[in-house]
Amino acid sequence: MAIPKKLKSLLFSSIILSLAACGGGDKNETKVPDPIITVEPPAFNYQAAIDGALSDTIPGVILLVEKPGFKFLGSAGLADIETQTPMQTYHVMLNGSAGKKLTALLTVMLAEEGLLSLDDPLDNWLSEEILAQIDNSEQMTIRQLLNHTSGIYNYTDGTNHDNFYEAVFVSNKEQLKTDSYALDFGLNRAAYSLPGEEYHYSNTAYLLVGLILDEVLGEHHSSAMRNRILNPFGMNSSFYNGVEKSLGEIISGYAITNEYGVINTKPYYENIGLADAPLSSNVEDLALLLKFIVDQDGHVSEYVQEQLFGESHLVDTGESILGAIDQNASYGLGLFKEVINNKVVYHHNGIELGYSTTNIYINDSQTSITAFFNCGESEQCRLETKLFTQAILLNEL
């Protein structure tokens, strides 16, 4: 076996020192200790990790890990099973709830400009027809919608989750479905709690924010997202899913359904554009969005950052990206914030039928971790993607 050059040098030094100690000197001469040889651990193999993540559940993976002086961008598996199209690093995918930060960011930007207040009651902006179908709507504020303390029922909870997607699957696939369409599945449902009383994640709340943004702007809020965020941030591969489908194409996503078995959900999602999951992007664009939000680089103002994740605006969730009992992430507006191994970590994942997204930024080391998987919603997909995410995150921590 060949001996590395560095190790040869250390061994040679050790031999010389040993010979010197054994020479004809004074018997009381102090023996020189043997040198300590340290071996650097092997570098983490990201490509092997994504290759190993492929399974009957996960057809394809894209991973970005980037920090000062280092960048890994790789892919593995298939973007489309039927056509056997390989997954590519530039491919665009629906980001699910990881896009909530985009909706929250636009809302806070408009608040900064005085076009709305985060503490406005809902009746400032929404019709009586909608408000009458929401428990405690007269007590809710925009901020409570954004930080999931409104108490409003989540339209993708429980059996209603299946009701929504069954309606989508039997509807006209070519029909564009926006916030009003999905909102019907969240109205006239009992509230989880009174507004401001406790945290309870609700996609319905972000649909209402979308409708409020439309009212404030006098047009669909996708235009403001593009003009105020996507274009200025240089997110050139990103678009508002469904609404801006002419600007790009998403890869296929695969989901296991009770009634239809394994299906490719891409044809359905191409015409769904909702404020609770607005964004389709590639991994580099999504990583850039989170980095620009939390970094002190001037892309967003101090006011915006304070509202999005300032300590006085965070609410406890009882959740953790690691799933650890002793970990607790807080939720700001559109993103989670937690301290892991004494490092501040910002994150927001996304799960849709056929699509799973991991989006993480470690503030202390300026490390972005973003991963796409074209599976979603099944328990096996959740387990496999979670284990992969934890392995990558813990390596960076």
Is 35 within a domain?
no
* pLDDT over threshold 60, residue 95: yes
Mean pLDDT of the 243-247 span: 97
* pLDDT over threshold 70, residue 225: yes
Is 175 within a domain?
yes
Q: What is the pLDDT of residue 319?
A: 80
Query: Please, what's the b/e burial string for 245-254 (b: 16 or more CB within 10 A of its CB; e: otherwise)?
Result: beeeebbbbb
> Do the Cβ atoms of 331 and 199 come closer than 8 Å?
yes
* pLDDT over threshold 90, residue 19: no
Q: Who contacts 203 (Cβ-Cβ below 8 Å, separation ≥6)? A: 97, 154, 155, 156, 182, 186, 274, 276, 277
| Average per-residue pLDDT for the chain | 89
Q: What is the pLDDT of residue 40?
A: 61
- Check: pTM over 0.95? Answer yes or no: no
Q: What is the pLDDT of residue 34?
A: 62
What six digits make up the tokens of 126? 């929404």
Is 365 within a domain?
yes
Q: Note the pLDDT tens digit of each residue in 273-292.
A: 999 999 999 999 999 999 99
Q: What is the pLDDT of residue 324?
A: 56
Residue 110 maps to which CATH number? Answer: 3.40.710.10
* pLDDT over threshold 90, residue 269: yes
Please state which of the ranges 117-121, 174-178, 255-259, 354-358 shows the lowest mean pLDDT: 255-259
> Do the Cβ atoms of 101 and 334 come closer than 8 Å?
yes
Is 382 within a domain?
yes
Q: H-type helices in 87-174, by residue range?
A: 100-112, 128-131, 142-146, 158-170
Cα–chain-centroid distance for residue 27? 68
* pLDDT over threshold 90, residue 393: yes
Note down the domain range covering 385: 46-396
Amino acid of residue 265: T
Is 275 within a domain?
yes
Q: Note the pLDDT tens digit of each residue in 315-373.
A: 999 888 776 545 789 999 999 999 998 999 999 999 999 999 999 999 999 999 999 99
Is 285 within a domain?
yes
| The total number of structural domains that make up the chain | 1
Is 36 within a domain?
no
Banded model confidence at residue 20, pLDDT cuts 50, 70, 90: very low
Is 188 within a domain?
yes
The Cα 370–Cα 287 span in angstroms is: 6
Q: In the block, which residue shows the tokens 């960076």? A: 396
Q: Note the pLDDT tens digit of each residue in 153-201.
A: 999 998 788 889 888 888 888 899 999 999 999 999 999 999 999 999 9
